[in-house]
Amino acid sequence: MKKIHSFMWLLLVVVAFSGCESNDDNSNSGPNDDTFNQNFGNSVNRDFIGQVVDANNNPLPGVTIKIGASTMQTDINGVFIINDAQVYERFAYITAKKAGYIDGSRSMVPTTGKNNVKIMMISNTPLETIQSGVSGEVALPSGTKVVFDGAFEDANGNDYSGSVQVAMFHLLPSDENISKLMPGMLYAQTETNQQAVLETFGMLNVELRGSAGQKLNIKEGHTAEITLQIDNSQVATAPNTIPLWHFDEEKGYWKEEGVATKVGNKYVGEVSHFSWWNCDMPLPMVILTVTIVNADGNPISNLGVGLIANGNNMPSMGYTNTNGMVSGLIPANQTLTLNVYPDYFSCANNIFYTATIGPFNTNEVLPNIVINNSSTVTSSNVVGNLVKCDNANVTNGYVILSRAGGSSVSPVTNGAFSFNEIYCPSNTQFTLKGYDLENLKSSGSINYNFIQPRTNIGIIQTCNALSELISFQVDNNPPVILTVGVNAEYIPTAYLPLSINCPSEYGISPGILISGDTNVVGTYTTSTPFILSSQAFDFIGSTTTNTMQFHLNKFGAVGDYIDMTFEGTYTNTTGVHTLTGVVHVIRDN
């Protein structure tokens, strides 16, 4: 996927504030958190699923996540699930903390379904060490810098004397990951207690730590001078003066405090404390809602929706949720270009859909955007069931779908999981891995290929020690899961060179024999031929009335895995039956 810049007014991936216009009743008393919080609505309980990654998009385990009074740590995949968290109807604040990283967060308007959260955390590496009692300057190569007067205090307000480690991060509006890296969202409280949506000209995070690792700040009554390099694409349009905003780490939104002045291609201002500071212009706003579906009308999640304001060349990005929806605050009275992008992966065409929309002076819900199947993009509904080692449905867990450098997460509902995914016909490969959070067990990572319009995975079992698996299910009967005694070989001189065999396991479960005439990844039928045989369904081959398809997703070398799924119907003396199966076995020969 091409590099996508984020010119962030604000584009949320959930339903936006129902009353985000400025409230004149609040404008005569100055900032007041109690009255401002009335914009958020009543207290409600909502469910959240999310993933935390580092700046290289690697999952971060052991991150402490807090939503309301609920806390937990991310697992090995950086994933967290918090249900029934107490938040507001129109405002939820999620924080992420891990030693060695700048605190991360996300603010959003929660839906009644599973709210999808993406947070990217920045390594908190000291840039320079300065001394208290003397002025000092810490600068980045770009020219962004902070000048300190030497007066510092600890978290309790006590004067601090000694060395000060300074970590600094400048987040440019053109950073493709700005919506994941920035704290909260670009929603703010003005000095007159009004709500605002912000257009950012750059953000700066500074963290100060003493010789014992304790957090420090500027001494009360003192200030530091900050200088922020203006993004090259914004220098010509940057105003001569711009409001400064700091991020309130307790509340989860930005607050107006001070002014910065344009000096050449930089903004210069004074601040009285540190976490995040932002050079932003508040804008009049309306709410825009977009829903994206495939040709069958099914919602598509994890698609990037980019809005480009008239006169700019950088889109404001948001990502569709599980309902295919992205909704948020946009500039009023401006003509916009709307583009739909793939997330995580590269296609021949990096824009699936484009249109000119607006200007809008009231809230707007666009008609559904339909992504039709084509030679460059298509979609698939990936469905299956996640079970425990005893074959009972996983009730507290999730499945990760990974493809082309990225991933999607689907929580399970009584074992069932579902993904609606866009993919490129030139790259159909993906993997699935399931996790049982109740028993802290997982499945193996199994290879698949997207099938249009539906990829039926069948059963995935979660067992840490599991190395090989054949599972299948006939109709609504209990699934058969075979893990012992599997033999898989490919003998080119044989009539059917591919043979995957697992006998009845200890006489309890029926065994299975799968044979085929190819080792080439692809989709096949019984006329290819592929054949199945088991005590559970007798023989299924070219002479059997059937609609079976066999998806050979991976064929490894000896010692590596063979991955396959099969699905369809077959007819015997008792009628028509459905059959699905998963094969994840080590090639023995």
Q: Which residues is 331 bridged to in the sheet?
A: 285
Q: How far apart are CA 536 and CA 566, in angstroms?
A: 15
Does a structural domain hold residue 336?
no
Q: Residues 415, 399: contact at Cβ < 8 Å?
A: no
- Whether this model's pTM surpasses 0.75: no
Of 242, 275, 291, which residue constitutes the final position of a domain?
Answer: 291
Q: How far apart are CA 345 and CA 266, in angstroms?
A: 35
Q: Does the pLDDT at position 317 exceed 70?
A: no
Does a structural domain hold residue 401?
yes
Of 229, 260, 291, which residue constitutes the final position of a domain?
Answer: 291
Domain range for residue 437? 373-454
Q: Do residues 121 and 257 both lie within one domain?
A: yes
Q: Do residues 133 and 244 both lie within one domain?
A: yes
Say what percent of the chain tops pLDDT 90.
46
Does a structural domain hold residue 345?
no
Q: Do residues 80 and 15 both lie within one domain?
A: yes
Q: Do residues 63 and 158 both lie within one domain?
A: yes
Q: Do residues 381 and 511 both lie within one domain?
A: no
Q: How far apart are CA 37 and CA 34, in angstroms?
A: 5
Q: Do residues 450 and 471 both lie within one domain?
A: no
Q: What is the mean pLDDT of the chain?
A: 85
Dump pLDDT digits (tens) for 424-456. Answer: 888 888 999 998 877 778 888 889 999 988 999
Does a structural domain hold residue 3?
no
Say what percent of the chain tops pLDDT 70.
89
Does a structural domain hold residue 349?
no
Q: What's phi and psi for 543, nearest 5 deg?
A: -90, -5
Q: Do residues 406 and 519 both lie within one domain?
A: no
The residue that leads in pLDDT, 148 or 350, is 148
* Number of folded domains that form the chain: 3
Q: Which residues is 49 bridged to in the sheet?
A: 81, 116
Does a structural domain hold residue 429?
yes
Specify the CATH number for the domain of residue 401.
Answer: 2.60.40
How many DSSP H helices and E strands does the chain contain?
Answer: 2, 48
Q: In terms of DSSP bridges, do strands 276-283 and 316-319 run parallel, antiparallel, or are they unpaired?
A: unpaired
Q: Do residues 198 and 61 both lie within one domain?
A: yes
Averaged pLDDT for residues 272-290: 87
Q: At 6, is the pLDDT very low, low, confident or very high (cuts 50, 70, 90)?
A: very low
| Count of Cβ atoms closer than 10 Å to residue 418 Cβ | 17
Which of 2-16, 24-38, 148-162, 574-588 has the lowest average pLDDT? 2-16
Q: Do residues 481 and 445 both lie within one domain?
A: no
Q: Does the pLDDT at position 163 exceed 60?
A: yes
Q: What is the DSSP letter of 202?
A: E
Q: Residues 91, 106: contact at Cβ < 8 Å?
A: no
Q: Do residues 497 and 447 both lie within one domain?
A: no
Q: Do residues 423 and 532 both lie within one domain?
A: no
Q: Do residues 420 and 508 both lie within one domain?
A: no
Does a structural domain hold residue 97?
yes
Does a structural domain hold residue 323?
no
Dump pLDDT digits (tens) for 58-98. Answer: 888 878 899 998 988 888 788 898 989 999 988 999 999 98
Q: How far apart are CA 157 and CA 506, in angstroms?
A: 70
Q: Which residues contact 298 (CB under 8 A, 6 or more apart)?
A: 324, 379, 381, 420
Of 423, 454, 485, which residue constitutes the final position of a domain?
Answer: 454
Amino acid at the residue 302: N
Q: Which residues contact 56 (CB under 8 A, 6 or more apart)?
A: none
Dump pLDDT digits (tens) for 476-500. Answer: 776 777 766 789 999 999 999 999 9
Dump pLDDT digits (tens) for 337-381. Answer: 898 876 554 454 567 788 999 899 888 899 999 988 777 788 889
